[in-house]
Structure 1
Amino acid sequence: MTSTVTIEPQSDSVPAASPQTSKMPLWKQEGAKPFLRIENVTKKFGEFTAVDNISLDIYKNELFCLLGGSGSGKSTLLRMLAGFESPTSGRIIIDGVDMAGIQPWKRPVNMMFQSYALFPHLSVEENVAFGLKREGLDRSEVKQRVAEMLEMVQLGHLGKRKPDQLSGGQRQRVALARSLVKRPKLLLLDEPLGALDKKLREETQFELINIQEELGVTFVVVTHDQEEAMTLASRIGVMNHGVIVQTAEPHDVYEYPNSRFVAEFIGSVNLFEGRVIEDLPDSVRIDSKDAGAVLFVNHGISCAPNQKVHVALRPEKTQISKEKPEGQQNCIKGIIEETAYMGSLSVYRVRLASGMEVRVTQPNTTRDLGARLTWNDEVYLYWDEDSSVVLTS
């Protein structure tokens, strides 16, 4: 196999539509060919296994997020895609080409680091042009491509400035422009927004989505920030101990986690332990000492008789009232121990008779303080039968 890979721009004949906006995403289309294929990839450092037999398909124009905590293996996997690390076993195939033995600078890939790694002595234009000049491109083409990219990231008026004359968000966009100006087929982003404050990070997330959609480049983003992954991603791969434990669209990862780990890692959740006492094809009843009640869920599960399970319930799907509701199959009683007013919503921590603490969030739809619940109020918590998920692992 030749070790030369030509980096070509995305074809003008292919629309730069994101899977997020298309009617049928590629990963749902039967027979669709993945742009990036990771086949049984393992990476060991001595006796330590950082990435453990991962297989994953990512499709063209997708914005895919690898989400996990520190030490989950997400950055190691990203570095193998870039060519900075070699797999101990397994294959990485990009656009139909096996990357084994291909050096980082010969891959159709670019990488944007969390530190941005800008040259402080070069101007914004010179930073963006650096890679193009090293490739020996004609001066006029370099100038044109740099100008186009700076306009795209809304920095055309700051091309002569040095990095230390820019804000954190502007430096982030310079790094993005430098990563994209070489027209990679695949852009890898390692915690790209981690250095920004919360408000700027939220604004930049949408800018990043717009740029990705406009260019049609496949993005793989590594992040530990769940909200960031939920905002950016067409799909999320949740990692834990070197393994991808669930791959799904953001909605499905949040609403239908496949394990306790995913349920607890993505957002806030209440987990009631119990044992299955009735398992029908379209419903299940669980006797839970945590809840002090029998809980009803209107979907079936695959489990053994009397199996221990957990019922996962998101705080915002839980209703709270001083009055006992009528006709609710899932209803438990407790006392408010803590409250927090968060502006758009209020948070309640309710202690049940079992000692379990349940978190409830409610939107503040009125300005009326008098009707608000407070400490030591005895309350009922209730939810619909389709609001919870049964987890067997």
Structure 2
Amino acid sequence: MTSSQTIDFSSKETEVSGKDKPATSSVPLWQQEGAEPFLRIENITKKFGDFTAVDNISLNIYKNELFCLLGGSGSGKSTLLRMLAGFETPTSGRILIDGVDMAGVQPWDRPVNMMFQSYALFPHLTVADNIAFGLKREGVAKAEIKRRVQEMLDLVQLGHLGKRKPHQLSGGQRQRVALARSLIKRPKLLLLDEPLGALDKKLREETQFELINIQDELGVTFVVVTHDQEEAMTLASRIGVMNHGVIVQTDEPHDVYEYPNSRFVAEFIGSVNLFEGVVIEDEPDTVRIQSEEAGGVLYINHGISCAPHQVVHVAVRPEKIRLGHEQPEQKENCLHGRIMDFAYMGSLTVFKVRLDSGKEVRVTQPNFNREVGERFTWDDQVYLSWTEDSSVVLTS
């Protein structure tokens, strides 16, 4: 396929409204045997000179999915997004959208639109004209433009603000205008590059749910790039965690958080305590690890695949740890230490505890009541404990 060729996507369905969306199954598409991916990324690599930005990535994304690419600066997530949009050409590999190979297909000929972090609204145009811009360039009839612009304004809850200019809007309103402009051409795939990064925390949290509702109503496939773990956990049907140009784990948010497959993922997603130790017992349903950092034996109620006496790490989330003044009856997964610091955060309190081994551990406790029955303060001698199913063994 040459770059001069134009792909006709008109024979394929280009719009899915809420009432026309197929009935959802209790089993998501990515878990259904034989389900065809809507977006197929096959062995994509992108090099800039000697630097490899994206390194042999393969990934399947399914129709109507809201997929998040999550990673830090320089992880390759934005470069991958730009290749999907057609703004960058892969060094090797291929991209298929709805079964069509995108090799040589120009950005304007792809069934794709992209929403940038800056929103890139035209300051001299009204909200309605900003949204209509793409349709006007395509020569769509005025009556049709007016109808579709009003549909988009109503969808993003800005129906009364069509005549305003961008500078007269709040950050959240500008974000919704940019989203409406991206959706009005009815793309099959919408790419969003840090879409909420310019908003303050409270507005960002509110807008996350608006974005989910809009995506669910339209049934458009979204691929979102973000560095914000909480944002990815809130938005995504699945998350692909990226590091150094590679997707290191792809899973649903719950599984990425509860069952990270490496120390990198465990530390990148949320907060975690890691205890280094040596495997002293490895049975199909039991693992025991001797850890000098923990000052005792750690017990996990599932088996792992490792060599005898292999050095591993046990990951325990701070909210899984119980804090108490009295020593619990359990002998394993029970540590002793002293409270070095704590911070009241409203819904929870964060404690820093130095174990007898010298290792510092983070513990969080929810504040269910205004008056806490058991209070903890600086220099308190405390016991830390958790259940056998609350931790994960990491071999890499």
Q: TM-score under structure 2 normalisation?
A: 0.97
Opposite residue 147 of structure 1, the aligned amino acid is Q
Give the CA deviation at 1:365: 1.6
1:282-310, CA deviations, whole angstroms, 9 ceiling, x for partnerless residues?
A: 11000001001010000000000000000
SS in 2 for 1:51: strand
Q: Would you say 1:24 and 2:37 are equivalent positions?
A: no
Give the CA deviation at 1:138: 0.8
Give the CA deviation at 1:9: 2.6
1:295-342, CA deviations, whole angstroms, 9 ceiling, x for partnerless residues?
A: 000000000000000000000000000000113531010000001111
Taking the aligned partners of 1:99 and 1:238, their CA distance within structure 2 comes to 24
1:213-257, CA deviations, whole angstroms, 9 ceiling, x for partnerless residues?
A: 000000000000000000000000000000000000000000000
Q: 221-230 or 371-380: which moved more?
A: 371-380
Taking the aligned partners of 2:199 and 2:25, their CA distance within structure 1 comes to 30
Q: Would you say 1:92 and 2:91 are equivalent positions?
A: no
* 1:328–1:383 CA contact under 8 A, matched in 2: no
Give the aligned partner of residue 228 of structure 2: 225
Taking the aligned partners of 1:15 and 1:258, their CA distance within structure 2 comes to 38
Taking the aligned partners of 1:360 and 1:153, their CA distance within structure 2 comes to 40
Taking the aligned partners of 2:91 and 2:62, their CA distance within structure 1 comes to 24
Taking the aligned partners of 2:90 and 2:301, their CA distance within structure 1 comes to 44
Q: Runs of 5+ in structure 1 lacking a partner?
A: none
* 1:17–1:213 CA contact under 8 A, matched in 2: no
SS in 2 for 1:156: coil
Give the CA deviation at 1:14: 7.8
Give the aligned partner of residue 15 of structure 2: 10
Give the aligned partner of residue 190 of structure 1: 193
Q: State which of 101, 105, 108 in structure 1 corresponds to 2:104.
A: 101
Give the CA deviation at 1:11: 4.7
CA shift in 2, pair 1:202/1:273, >3 Å: same
1:189-226, CA deviations, whole angstroms, 9 ceiling, x for partnerless residues?
A: 00000000000000000000000000000000000000
Give the aligned partner of residue 119 of structure 1: 122
Give the aligned partner of residue 341 of structure 1: 344
Q: State which of 128, 131, 152 in structure 1 corresponds to 2:131.
A: 128
Give the CA deviation at 1:371: 3.0
Give the aligned partner of residue 244 of structure 1: 247
Taking the aligned partners of 2:287 and 2:17, their CA distance within structure 1 comes to 53
Give the number of equivalent residue pairs: 391
* 2:76–2:245 CA contact under 8 A, matched in 1: yes
Q: State which of 384, 388, 393 in structure 1 corresponds to 2:391.
A: 388
Taking the aligned partners of 1:250 and 1:198, their CA distance within structure 2 comes to 20
Give the CA deviation at 1:280: 0.5
Q: Would you say 1:259 and 2:271 are equivalent positions?
A: no
Q: Would you say 1:313 and 2:295 are equivalent positions?
A: no
Taking the aligned partners of 2:51 and 2:39, their CA distance within structure 1 comes to 26
Give the aligned partner of residue 65 of structure 1: 68
Give the CA deviation at 1:12: 5.7
Taking the aligned partners of 1:17 and 1:264, their CA distance within structure 2 comes to 38
Taking the aligned partners of 2:350 and 2:8, their CA distance within structure 1 comes to 54
Give the CA deviation at 1:15: 4.2
CA shift in 2, pair 1:28/1:361, >3 Å: same
Give the CA deviation at 1:10: 2.1
Q: Would you say 1:373 and 2:376 are equivalent positions?
A: yes
1:80-113, CA deviations, whole angstroms, 9 ceiling, x for partnerless residues?
A: 0000000000000000000000000000000000
Opposite residue 15 of structure 2, the aligned amino acid is Q
Give the aligned partner of residue 366 of structure 2: 363
Taking the aligned partners of 1:365 and 1:184, their CA distance within structure 2 comes to 45
Q: Would you say 1:164 and 2:167 are equivalent positions?
A: yes
SS in 2 for 1:158: coil
Taking the aligned partners of 2:353 and 2:385, their CA distance within structure 1 comes to 12
SS in 2 for 1:157: coil
Give the CA deviation at 1:125: 0.4
Q: Would you say 1:77 and 2:80 are equivalent positions?
A: yes
Q: Would you say 1:39 and 2:42 are equivalent positions?
A: yes
Taking the aligned partners of 1:31 and 1:81, their CA distance within structure 2 comes to 24
Taking the aligned partners of 1:11 and 1:294, their CA distance within structure 2 comes to 55
CA shift in 2, pair 1:128/1:13, >3 Å: closer
Q: Would you say 1:235 and 2:242 are equivalent positions?
A: no
Opposite residue 190 of structure 1, the aligned amino acid is D
* 2:241–2:248 CA contact under 8 A, matched in 1: yes
Q: Runs of 5+ in structure 2 lacking a partner?
A: none
What RMSD in Å do the two structures reach over aligned CA positions? 1.4
1:105-157, CA deviations, whole angstroms, 9 ceiling, x for partnerless residues?
A: 00000000000000000000000000001111111101100000100000010
* 1:5–1:107 CA contact under 8 A, matched in 2: no
Taking the aligned partners of 2:59 and 2:274, their CA distance within structure 1 comes to 29
* 1:33–1:59 CA contact under 8 A, matched in 2: yes
* 2:18–2:217 CA contact under 8 A, matched in 1: no
Taking the aligned partners of 2:137 and 2:45, their CA distance within structure 1 comes to 33
Taking the aligned partners of 1:341 and 1:289, their CA distance within structure 2 comes to 30
Taking the aligned partners of 1:185 and 1:166, their CA distance within structure 2 comes to 28
Give the aligned partner of residue 202 of structure 1: 205
